[in-house]
Structure 1
């Protein structure tokens, strides 16, 4: 390492500390403003001309938002259609109605696993709250559970939604890492599914069985009324819900298209007809668009739904994600400035001095940024930007690096995360109870995810 490398690394570390201070101190800067201020400061300190700093910020924000923003918006629209059409409830209720009390946590984890594929953590939790509360209330009345039935039923849902949100495209975190590292969506998705399953099992039903008897969580009845399903704003009637086949195919179609592309890349020669076709329909933006159009056709038009309400519902669905998209844009700007300043090259030189795996390094950087700033997106974008130069170096498994970074962003979701407060207030928890649930659950999911990444990376070496 040269003195220039050391100076760049110190500047990057100082920039990260400065970013954290702006966000979490009494200043309480919005992450977008904090990211832009930090980007300008880092660029100027590293000797970049002012004009190049501005160009780098604009390019980074535009590239990242272009790669991720459309997919995130389409995912929000698809999630809204599935919710308003009764798809999410019908999938979950079918699982629940065929399950005994002992296996209800596993069934709820399975339902959340499916529903969580196209939905954000917060959206999926709000959609599943009516089912969580109704099932838990029945268990509460039967006195068949020692402790809180709301924890017994809710913990697996939280674990599944968190794992899917941090590990599996088309969620914004994994997509952001994929775009920054220029890696394969399908491969990352396959690895994400593999890593998510044991993480959900240990963080959900297993941990839930341990913690249920220790907590006395019971939401206020007003909370149950607040999250109860209503017919207002629905685009179709739930009196005749879609069949299970339509429900599953609609929810899973974008993921299936992306997986087909990954499989075709392994089977067919590059440039062949099938490889080109699957590559087009398996692109995240196209796959999500096809998913939205398919859902609109079979769930709204074919069932005589109200198209005016559909348009209003789609408009409403993208409003809550505006903040996420702005942070993604700011993160992309910060990432691009770091890249243009050659900070990533300095990190690559540093990594050559130690035996620390880039997969572990990515997890640590993402974890530290996420915990300190309260934004998993900031953690993912920051870690991806710093480690992007490593993506083309040696025999590094880049999809696993993207997954490792996503896992790191999940660690210890606490009071500076919006999801923490959603869980706390929805379940009527104290700060301690919320910490023992969502914070510990996501930490388990994060660590298990990292262990699975390392295991999958190590497995080919044994063959």
Structure 2
């Protein structure tokens, strides 16, 4: 039984990490091996699956995380992050800085993948929290809530866009509905949920290299315009690609925009530009900037390994065809297609970890039924998106990214990240059902 295999694998992982204090990467590989064997895969097939998972996960995120960390380190070490933070606190006040951070994350989340948005915004989260004199998670949790909600609900992200195509949904309508449903989901899972925790609980220690205790003088910091331009340059590149894809998909410049709008390319180009804007322009030598780069990479090496390990765990689940087993169970259900779509996506999310796989599989199963029912394809696509972002746990790379970047324990990550993604999923379904009453 696949559910038994998954349960054993997750329990083993938790025991290894929380009680035996085994390194997260080692624990993930061992748990992946056990789950694969329990599902009847041969030892060689399991190891092949693990290697594929390591490669695909690390490969797709390596440029993003490495160059994102380097940009964050430059922003931090040159005082640019402090400049952005002090300006935001000055403009919005300490009382409203959380709101300003959430709005920023929503805008960033429209154009950027969740992982890219985290890498770009986390150094600023640390700086804003320090300047505003508030706990890091007071800013951080609402920011990641906004990023994951936009990632799951709003095209042109690949998951929602692919699901929209399966259902034949109108992308423009889905964007409007998605943003409307996303806003209350973000507010409840972010700022409101954060208020349930004590100030002590929300305080975490930033990982080494991603924040600094140094306080820069006014003269030492670069200008706000230069600082914010460097920070948002990846967003500009990615957003430019998105505009061309939507407005002029057959344009002659699409090849160029696809290149600069790729997340890894966008961050690499931004780093190269920041070598000048934050480095040599301010009197630093190339050698000094490269030392900053080396320090940033050494600080996130274990994060990369753990994310890759999470990818291996997910890949074993996918290769053991657990998704087909779940699809077979749900195929002949009499539940409303909207709820069924959400439910299948949520179960697959819990089982496999991948939000994209969960949403697309759920859409593929329900699409034939939904066509006969005459339901709004946009709402069906959003139901799949809502279910696919919820209940994130140890088989999801996002779980490990949040855990490691915020330097949290397993228990704290479950209480914060897993809980807030679950809230987003439930509020998203409620929003879809309410929309269904009027659409």
TM-score computed with the length of structure 1 as normaliser = 0.66
Greater mean alpha carbon deviation, residues 306-315 or residues 41-50: 41-50
1:157 paired to 2:139:
yes
After superposition, the Cα gap between the structure-2 partners of 1:68 and 1:36, relative to the gap in structure 1 and judged at 3 Å, is same
- Which aligned pairs between 1:309-458 and structure 2 lie closer than 5 A? 309-354=288-333, 355=335, 356-363=339-346, 366=349, 380-381=353-354, 389-390=361-362, 395=367, 405-409=388-392, 418=403, 439=415, 443-444=419-420, 446-448=422-424, 451-452=427-428, 455=431
Matching residue of 1:5: none
Matching residue of 1:79: 72
Whole-angstrom distance in 1 between the partners of 2:193 and 2:419: 11
After superposition, the Cα gap between the structure-2 partners of 1:283 and 1:419, relative to the gap in structure 1 and judged at 3 Å, is closer
Q: Runs of 5+ in structure 2 lacking a partner?
A: 110-116, 165-170, 368-376
Matching residue of 1:230: 214
After superposition, the Cα gap between the structure-2 partners of 1:55 and 1:111, relative to the gap in structure 1 and judged at 3 Å, is closer
Whole-angstrom distance in 1 between the partners of 2:187 and 2:330: 33
State the Cα distance separating 1:310 from its structure 2 match.
Answer: 1.9
- Asked if 1 retains the 8 angstrom alpha-carbon contact of 2:279 and 2:285, the reply is yes
Matching residue of 1:239: 219
Whole-angstrom distance in 2 between the partners of 1:74 and 1:189: 30
Q: Runs of 5+ in structure 1 lacking a partner?
A: 1-9, 134-149, 370-378, 425-430
Task: String of CA shifts for 1:301-356, please: whole Å, max 9, x gaps.
Answer: 22222433322222222233323322332233333333333222112222324334
RMSD (CA atoms): 4.9
Matching residue of 1:290: 269
Greater mean alpha carbon deviation, residues 302-311 or residues 388-397: 388-397
After superposition, the Cα gap between the structure-2 partners of 1:305 and 1:341, relative to the gap in structure 1 and judged at 3 Å, is same
After superposition, the Cα gap between the structure-2 partners of 1:168 and 1:443, relative to the gap in structure 1 and judged at 3 Å, is same
After superposition, the Cα gap between the structure-2 partners of 1:37 and 1:239, relative to the gap in structure 1 and judged at 3 Å, is same
Matching residue of 2:127: 127
- Identify the match of residue 230 of structure 2 among 235, 250, 266: 250
After superposition, the Cα gap between the structure-2 partners of 1:16 and 1:130, relative to the gap in structure 1 and judged at 3 Å, is same
**Count of aligned pairs:** 392
Whole-angstrom distance in 2 between the partners of 1:24 and 1:163: 24
After superposition, the Cα gap between the structure-2 partners of 1:452 and 1:300, relative to the gap in structure 1 and judged at 3 Å, is farther
After superposition, the Cα gap between the structure-2 partners of 1:108 and 1:284, relative to the gap in structure 1 and judged at 3 Å, is closer
1:17 paired to 2:1:
no
State the Cα distance separating 1:131 from its structure 2 match.
Answer: 0.8
- Asked if 2 retains the 8 angstrom alpha-carbon contact of 1:77 and 1:318, the reply is yes
- Asked if 2 retains the 8 angstrom alpha-carbon contact of 1:78 and 1:295, the reply is yes
State the Cα distance separating 1:393 from its structure 2 match.
Answer: 5.4
- Asked if 2 retains the 8 angstrom alpha-carbon contact of 1:258 and 1:284, the reply is yes
State the Cα distance separating 1:58 from its structure 2 match.
Answer: 1.8
- Asked if 1 retains the 8 angstrom alpha-carbon contact of 2:82 and 2:131, the reply is yes
SS in 2 for 1:305: coil
- Asked if 2 retains the 8 angstrom alpha-carbon contact of 1:87 and 1:242, the reply is yes
State the Cα distance separating 1:245 from its structure 2 match.
Answer: 2.6
State the Cα distance separating 1:30 from its structure 2 match.
Answer: 3.3
